[in-house]
A and B are shown apart, each in its own frame.
Chain A
């Protein structure tokens, strides 16, 4: 057996075993170890090479950055149970209720705010589906518009910092999470504008699909309403500042910001009077299991990729991908189409841990900015939540939507938003500035052009007594 056929064999084996449906983490470990020992037997590398494994695993566990995963998850798990979303949605819904499409705008904006503080699609979609969907249906919104806007706004959280996807991608691409977050700001804003624009266009073309709230459903303008809005907005903005502000100002690492965010979320729940021991225990349990699950996939992927590198797998992938026509753009389009389809049956953790490490070296070779690349992948992975019939966001929405909402409507409602997200992918591919504009580009000075001129030392009298300073 020659070395050339090992990488495709390994990759093919992995695909088959993953499709079986046994947990991904252990399938990765097993396939990696099996091919590892096979390769030792065949003399492709030695036992000493596989001996790096404990060190690699230990490297994952001692990685400060990955620690941000449980912290942000804990923060989201507490916030989704503390009633913040309710205050936000009802308040802003009333505020915008008077105009056609008002409830839809409220959902988009609240989706963005929730995205900037929590980071789980499930929490956003479920909260908005439970609160806004019944109101939208009652006041005559088109079913597809209502379900589409809720599912799509829930996925904004994937792209908007502090998104877990960006942390994981930053780790895999070897870029700082702060930069990944900064790079995602532009596309997040664009996405929100695209969504709002879509609603605006539909409200002009087909106003009957999103009528304004009738006067009897509107709370009177005045303090009770404003207080409701403020009660949701003020703590949210304080939390956003606490988390994102400290990261962008360089005061805290993303990990510390996540920890402070989780503590802040607990305080907020206490102020809302929704904090309880049970809530905290549940949130801790969920966070623990999610963290163990995600990091085990990473451990499995590490076992796999160590062996895959050992059999020259990276050359194989590079060889496959570097001959694509169209250079940078050709590669990006190919990768995005590839990941778009992969995302039909793989979750973002699997894509980030298995596929991204294979693509990153090729991207570097093609001179692609890895932050741009990462943000692009993040937007693309967002679409995986919206694909009918497997999209997570649709699945969550189905689980809480009333029976009167047809599954067909949820699927068809998702399609325009899916297209909007693809438009965003295209925009970001053709205008990398949307990402790089918000990146702090250092001093703007090319280090190669810097010359250091040191004045010559003052002439020293040779006869003087030497002085040691």
Chain B
């Protein structure tokens, strides 16, 4: 990845960039966590298959842990993926734009698409989680897990993405004003490998 160093601004901008740095740090940690969830889910899923045929044991709790971890991968990892600029785009026009043009597209999209959508989704999924927590909702299958931890991942993930969106917005506005230091911005975009 190409990391552009952004120079120090003054006053308010410094404060905002410090916020960006904090958000980037937090989301990187969540990204790490999501990495491990993949490996863990993989081990558990392979283990489930083996224990079912090898020892004739199967447990709903272990089956459900798999997709709890999957949900964690997606919801906790998406914000770091945004930081790495790896959410897929239609690059028909974007591919031809100048660097500045791309910054404008990103700023436009962050303000009009990402931030409002994430605010709404956080706002809509929070009661969904609360309801589950209040009811102490369990799994429909016997021996299954409590539901609220999985449902908590929804508002949490959307909120983390909202924060990362703010961070990316700040960094891109700063870049438009001139080079800045102390934060990492990935502006180069490559389509993901498939």
Of A64, A123, A259, A295, the residue contacting B46 (CB under 8 A) is A259
Of A26, A54, A252, the residue contacting B109 (CB under 8 A) is A26
Known: A20-B108, A21-B97. Contact between A57 and B154, CB under 8 A? yes
- Inter-subunit contact B116/A30 (CB<8 Å): yes
Q: Does A284 contact B (CB under 8 A)?
A: yes
Q: Does B106 contact A (CB under 8 A)?
A: yes
* B21 surroundings in chain A (CB, below 8 A): none
Extra 11 A-B pairs, beta carbons < 8 Å, given A50-B124, A293-B86: A23-B88, A26-B117, A30-B112, A58-B151, A120-B193, A259-B44, A284-B36, A288-B31, A292-B34, A293-B88, A296-B87
B residues near A, CB below 8 A? 31, 34-39, 41-46, 48-50, 53, 63, 66-67, 70-71, 73-75, 77-78, 80-82, 84, 86-95, 97, 102, 105-106, 108-109, 112-114, 116-118, 120-121, 124-125, 128, 150-151, 153-154, 191-194
Nearest CB on A from B40, distance (A): 10
Taking each of B41, B43, B70, B118, which has the highest tally of chain A beta carbons within 10 Å of its own beta carbon?
B70
How many residues belonging to A are interface residues under a CB distance threshold of 8 Å?
Answer: 73
Q: With A and B bound together, what is the CA distance between A118 and B80 in angstroms?
A: 25
Of A17, A54, A246, A289, the residue contacting B125 (CB under 8 A) is A54
In the complex, residue of chain A having the shortest beta-carbon distance to the beta carbon of B90: A18
Known: A54-B124, A263-B43, A288-B38. Contact between A122 and B194, CB under 8 A? yes
13 A-B contacts (beta carbon < 8 Å): A54-B124, A61-B74, A61-B154, A70-B41, A74-B39, A259-B44, A259-B49, A288-B77, A291-B73, A291-B74, A293-B86, A296-B87, A345-B92
Of B113, B128, B153, the residue contacting A26 (CB under 8 A) is B113
Nearest CB on B from A226, distance (A): 32
In the complex, residue of chain A having the shortest beta-carbon distance to the beta carbon of B35: A284
* A289 surroundings in chain B (CB, below 8 A): 77, 80-81, 84, 86, 192
Of A17, A21, A25, A67, the residue contacting B67 (CB under 8 A) is A67
- Inter-subunit contact A61/B109 (CB<8 Å): no
- Inter-subunit contact B117/A33 (CB<8 Å): yes
Of B45, B81, B194, the residue contacting A256 (CB under 8 A) is B45
Q: With A and B bound together, what is the CA distance between A50 and B77 in angstroms?
A: 26
In the complex, residue of chain B having the shortest beta-carbon distance to the beta carbon of A298: B74
* B113 surroundings in chain A (CB, below 8 A): 17, 22, 26-27, 29-31
Q: Does A320 contact B (CB under 8 A)?
A: no
Q: Does A153 contact B (CB under 8 A)?
A: no
- Inter-subunit contact A70/B78 (CB<8 Å): no
- Inter-subunit contact A121/B124 (CB<8 Å): no
Known: A17-B113, A347-B194. Contact between A22 and B42, CB under 8 A? no
In the complex, residue of chain B having the shortest beta-carbon distance to the beta carbon of A27: B113
Nearest CB on B from A294, distance (A): 8
Q: Does A281 contact B (CB under 8 A)?
A: yes
- Inter-subunit contact B74/A252 (CB<8 Å): no
* B41 surroundings in chain A (CB, below 8 A): 67, 70-71, 259
Known: A21-B93, A29-B121, A346-B90. Contact between A288 and B108, CB under 8 A? no
**Majority secondary structure, B binding face:** helix
Q: With A and B bound together, what is the CA distance between A288 and B76 in angstroms?
A: 10
Nearest CB on B from A145, distance (A): 25
* A53 surroundings in chain B (CB, below 8 A): 121, 124
In the complex, residue of chain B having the shortest beta-carbon distance to the beta carbon of A284: B35
- Inter-subunit contact B154/A54 (CB<8 Å): yes
Nearest CB on A from B74, distance (A): 4
Q: With A and B bound together, what is the CA distance between A22 and B115 in angstroms?
A: 13
Q: Does A55 contact B (CB under 8 A)?
A: yes
Nearest CB on B from A293, distance (A): 5
Nearest CB on A from B94, distance (A): 3
Q: With A and B bound together, what is the CA distance between A61 and B63 in angstroms?
A: 14
In the complex, residue of chain A having the shortest beta-carbon distance to the beta carbon of B193: A122
Known: A29-B117, A284-B36, A289-B84. Contact between A21 and B73, CB under 8 A? no
* B153 surroundings in chain A (CB, below 8 A): 61
A16-54: which have CB < 8 Å to B? 17-27, 29-31, 33, 50-51, 53-54
Q: Does A62 contact B (CB under 8 A)?
A: yes
Known: A23-B89, A24-B87. Contact between A295 and B94, CB under 8 A? no
A148-197: which have CB < 8 Å to B? 164
- Inter-subunit contact B73/A288 (CB<8 Å): yes
Q: Does A200 contact B (CB under 8 A)?
A: no
Q: Does A443 contact B (CB under 8 A)?
A: no
- Inter-subunit contact B124/A51 (CB<8 Å): yes
Nearest CB on A from B188, distance (A): 14
